[in-house]
Amino acid sequence: MDRSRRNLLKTGAAGAALATAAVGYSGVLGKMSQGQWAGERPPSALHGKSLAPEFQVDAITGAITPNPDQRTAFTMCMGCTTFCGVRLRIDRQSGDVLRVAGNPYSPLSADPALPWETPVEEALHSLSRHGKRGLEGRSTACGRGAAVLEQMRSPHRVTQPLKRVGPRNGGEWQPISFEQLIEELVEGGDLFGEGHVDGLRAIRDLDTPIDPERPELGPRANQLAVIDAANDGGRAFAQRFSRLAFGSQNYAGHGSYCGGAYRSGSAAMFGHLRQMPHAKPDFRHADFVLFIGTAPGNAGNPFKRQGRQIADARSDAGRNFEYVVIDPVLTHAGNKPSAHAGRWVPIKPGTDGAMAMALIRWILDNKREDQTYLAQPNPDAAEAAGEASWSNATHLVVQTPGDRRDGRMLRAADLGLGSDEQYVVLPDDGDEPVAHDRLTGPARRYFRGQVTTADGESLTVATSLTLLREAAEQHTLAEYSAICGIPEQTLIDLADTFTRHGKRAAANTHGGMMAGNGFYNAWAVVMLNTLIGNLNCKGGTVVAGGRYPEVAPGPRYNLVDFPGKVAPRGRHVSRNSQPLTDRPVEAPWFPVAPNLTVELFSSALDGYPYGLKALFLRNANPLYGIPGMAKHLEEKLRDPGRIPLLVSIDPFMNETSAYADYVVPDTFMYEAWGWAAPWAGVPTRVTTARWPAVESPNARTAEGSPVCMESLFIGLAKAMDLPGFGDDAIPDADGRLHPLHRPEDYYVRAGANVAWADDPVPEVNDTELALSGVDHIRPVLEDCLKPEEWRRVAYVYARGGRYEDEARAFEGTKTRHRFGGPMHLYREEVGTASNGLMEERFPGTPTWYPARFADGSKVAEHYPEPEWPAQLISFKSPLQNSYSIAVKRLRQLHPDNPVLVHPEDAARWGLRNGQSVRITTPGGSETAIVQLRRGVQRGVIAVEHSFGHKELGARQHRIGDQDFGGEGALAAGLNLNDLGLADPTRSGSSVWVDPVAGSTVRQGLPARITPA
């Protein structure tokens, strides 16, 4: 039978079925067409129970008439850490948020975004059908962003300060006043009937060393630490208290248990191991993208922007765009209607580095790298050659074992050619070494040989590119193929395709790098970008365009300096960021890593290098988020003798809050102040405003502020008379001091810096104040700001932030906002470092580095494959996040997370679809439901993140005489982190972390699965 005949029969059958349905349900269909339904009659025959529009547009004149029962607010979403700009619809009577949509000014929500100076009335026009512009100008929120507003009125919210009654994690709490909270935290005492607890006043000792025999550890003030979850616009405020006023060195974010391996590996290439810069593909102009350990539409940041741009690119027949997702699990990146544009290549977990080194080897063997780019030894030479960035590919590295300079970059001072700030290269047409910044043309890319120092010593040296090539040559393509599970020809095809698009190709990665070798996996992946010289290029990779700085020395208010500001000193408790000096060591050090939440806990609980006396958690939930922590560190966390004062600041009772001594409520979503910016992926300048569009249900302070992170730190600082808070706290441009008694005193003045950055913005008019909803905070603006300031700041709030026009993103084929430093094929800080437990130094260039433990031993030496035939991995949920499980609308769509296994593995392991199974790792054992899916690499057990909660309302607590929580449905599913490993080569408290980056391991856990 021919295809047209078969399709005709199918159509006919479908038509007959519809006709039958129409006859059988004619009465129902008739009622539906007339707006008649069983039960309550909807308000509108056409729109049913949908919300009344927020405004109406006159079809003839275009005049906008706002709905008098609603108001609007342009602000920031907190559904994930992309921090998209959104537009709220708020009921004027109840004060509730009715709906969330996108902000048309924000490049994170609209593509393209409206020019920033577009009047608000015209912005609203662009969202309507007037002039047939609605679809063209639409700006959206993702499914999660649209749903999580439900949590603002959740019965599981903490709205008043709580003090534990009984042991930690006992589930019994006493509500207390804000004043009692401040008094007890500052003064301490026998707070729980368990003995004396030092308060913050006693802990803040800036003169007495923690250990007189080790003064390098710093003063006792370092025994306060603060951990936060993400920079949602409030991090600078929290650091103002903990670092600049209190004087503690210890402040850590969540990166070490989120995407820290990628960020550190990228930072090695960018050369800033503390700030951890990174780049993302320019999806709008790229021709080819490799997604490795991440997937568009499912993960990555900016989540929504990249998903939309990829969808547009693959549906545009004129683009000829292609992408490949290399990942152990196929998520939402696959799409059959656009299969011509994207495909999935499965890979063994934790072997991304082998795959990337295979591509690097093929590229170098076949001379497919950008040779002109890699030959430029300095930025001036690169500019003259027409390049948008440069690298240290030609810089010489000392390779003389036993010499004090072994592993260091060769300096011009070593050869008597200049200073220690200058490196050494060989001209492309000569053999005489020269300082890298004195060469005006290309330098030699490949060299291994001898040079003579100013003292007459002979040193063996090699260029950075030579060392990278030698690292790639340690294995053949066939060996790399066997390691990563990707056929050799596929590796060749990937390398060939990647290098066929000039600079309009990019390699992108993120959370999939969180393996026991994630640092080197990530460095190898991003090195592919450097080999084609695509940084700062249209269609290549781009760094964030930056922000309009709010926490800055000005131009209106100095929020960086203040009278009495403290400069923290000493070593981080998490044993990071500074060269290793301890020998021998009790636990590994991480000299090239940033502050590490994971190691902060193990250090504090074991007292090495010193202990903590107080720990504040700000919206952080490490017990849920760190693989292995709940299993291996919980018992010590329960002991108040280890960390005597534990305070959680959070809108909810999370898994870690349950162990706190005090739980302090925080403002949530659209109740809070803040200023945020995208991580990367937006090449223009962006500063997104977060402001309290609705009232918080939290208890109030004496000043009338909601109890939250800011009011807590203000109260503590004022009680202790710390600098930077109280009456004379914030200097303006003229040196006059202004008060900091309320959160708005800080954030609104930060908004003045945003409004005056570069050229001052216009003043808002009353029409825009009303249409944007900013008239809701007009009294605050007028109270905090000078008469000439408040309307300009309101202009920024009326647009939900300040956004550079997207037309300014590029200058020809190069980005306007460029990363100016070199890309590092070799990084001296890495190549000369050790963690103190391994005998050897770390490799200084990307290489295949099998997953290992802290002492350098490989995982298979401890957990052989025959005993552990599967590998456990995590992947992101496109709907849920780590705290959204209580959102009913999301749970109705996706109530739990069955684990995914390939059907061939299921047959081998005796599993059936939908069966209850037991998953066991060396770290523990949990039950789950299995789902068979061919979109999983063989040998893999894939677990979607964000489920398996024990708190957030799942467990019942007792607050005073009231029950709190106990909604069992919130505990559905499995949390992979409950199966995380301890490091078998370490003594004391530990979980398995990457030996270089200190990031946790959740990809490639040795496991087995059996019927339950």
610-646 pLDDT, tens per residue? 999 999 999 999 999 999 999 999 999 999 999 999 9
Please compute, for residue 700, the number of CA atoms within 13 A of its CA located in the half-sphere on the CB side: 6
Q: What is the mean pLDDT of residues 157-173?
A: 97
Q: What is the mean pLDDT of residues 304-328?
A: 89
Check residue 12 and give its pLDDT. Answer: 37
Q: Which amino acid is at 884?
A: S
Name, in order, each residue with C-beta under 8 angstroms of 373's C-beta and a sequence gap of 6 or more.
382, 385, 387, 389, 390, 391, 532, 533
958-978 pLDDT, tens per residue? 999 999 999 999 999 999 999
Q: How far is CA 541 from the centre of its chain?
A: 18
Q: Which fold has domain 856-1011?
A: Barwin-like endoglucanases (2.40.40)
| CB-count exposure of residue 950 (10 Å: 0-12, 13-18, 19+) | middle
Residue spans per domain, the chain: 57-150, 856-1011
Gap between the Cα atoms of 65 and 722, Å rounded:
50
Query: In the beta sheet, which residues pair with residue 822?
Result: 390
Check residue 37 and give its pLDDT. Answer: 52
Tokens of 719: 């009680």
Return the sign of the alpha-carbon dihedral for residues 829, 832, 834, 836: negative
Q: What is the mean pLDDT of residues 937-949?
A: 97
Check residue 382 and give its pLDDT. Answer: 98
Host H or E run for residue 470: helix 464-472
* Contact of 353 with 849, CB cutoff 8 Å: yes
Q: Which residue has the tokens 């593909």?
A: 281
Higher model confidence: residue 302 or residue 30? 302
Lowest model confidence (mean pLDDT) among 69-73, 237-241, 247-251, 293-297 = 293-297
Check residue 996 and give its pLDDT. Answer: 96
248: three-class secondary structure by DSSP = coil
Query: In the beta sheet, which residues pair with residue 71?
Result: 90
Q: What is the mean pLDDT of residues 233-255?
A: 95
Q: Please, which pLDDT band fits residue 580 given cuts at 50, 70 and 90?
A: confident
469-511 pLDDT, tens per residue? 999 999 999 999 999 999 999 999 999 999 999 999 999 999 9
540-569 pLDDT, tens per residue? 999 999 999 999 999 999 999 999 999 999
The pLDDT of residue 428 is above 70: yes
Q: What is the mean pLDDT of residues 421-450?
A: 96
Q: What is the mean pLDDT of residues 127-148?
A: 80
Check residue 350 and give its pLDDT. Answer: 97
Tokens of 498: 């990647």
Q: Please, which pLDDT band fits residue 21 given cuts at 50, 70 and 90?
A: very low
- Angstrom distances, CA of residue 828 to CA of 325, 447, 831: 32, 18, 5
Q: Please, which pLDDT band fits residue 18 given cuts at 50, 70 and 90?
A: very low
Q: What is the mean pLDDT of residues 265-293?
A: 94
The mean of the pLDDT values for the chain is 92
503-516 pLDDT, tens per residue? 999 999 999 999 99
E-strand ranges in 306-394 read: 322-326, 342-345, 390-391
576: three-class secondary structure by DSSP = strand
Q: Please, which pLDDT band fits residue 304 given cuts at 50, 70 and 90?
A: confident
Lowest model confidence (mean pLDDT) among 77-81, 871-875, 923-927, 1000-1004 = 77-81
Q: Which residue has the tokens 């790792």?
A: 921
The pLDDT of residue 311 is above 90: no
The pLDDT of residue 774 is above 60: yes
The pLDDT of residue 35 is above 60: no
Q: Which amino acid is at 876?
A: K
pTM (predicted TM-score): 0.94
The angle at the Cα of 266, spanning 263 to 272, to the nearest 5 degrees, equals 90
Higher model confidence: residue 578 or residue 709? 709
Check residue 39 and give its pLDDT. Answer: 60
Name, in order, each residue with C-beta under 8 angstroms of 345's C-beta and a sequence gap of 6 or more.
324, 325, 326, 486, 490, 494
To the question of domain 57-150 being in CATH 2.20.25.90, the answer is yes
Query: In the beta sheet, which residues pair with residue 227?
Result: 252, 617
Q: State the first-to-last Cα distance of the chain, in angstroms, to the nearest integer.
A: 48
Higher model confidence: residue 503 or residue 20? 503
Check residue 312 and give its pLDDT. Answer: 87
Gap between the Cα atoms of 204 and 208, Å rounded:
10
The pLDDT of residue 11 is above 70: no
Check residue 3 and give its pLDDT. Answer: 36
Check residue 905 and give its pLDDT. Answer: 98
338: three-class secondary structure by DSSP = helix
Check residue 8 and give its pLDDT. Answer: 30
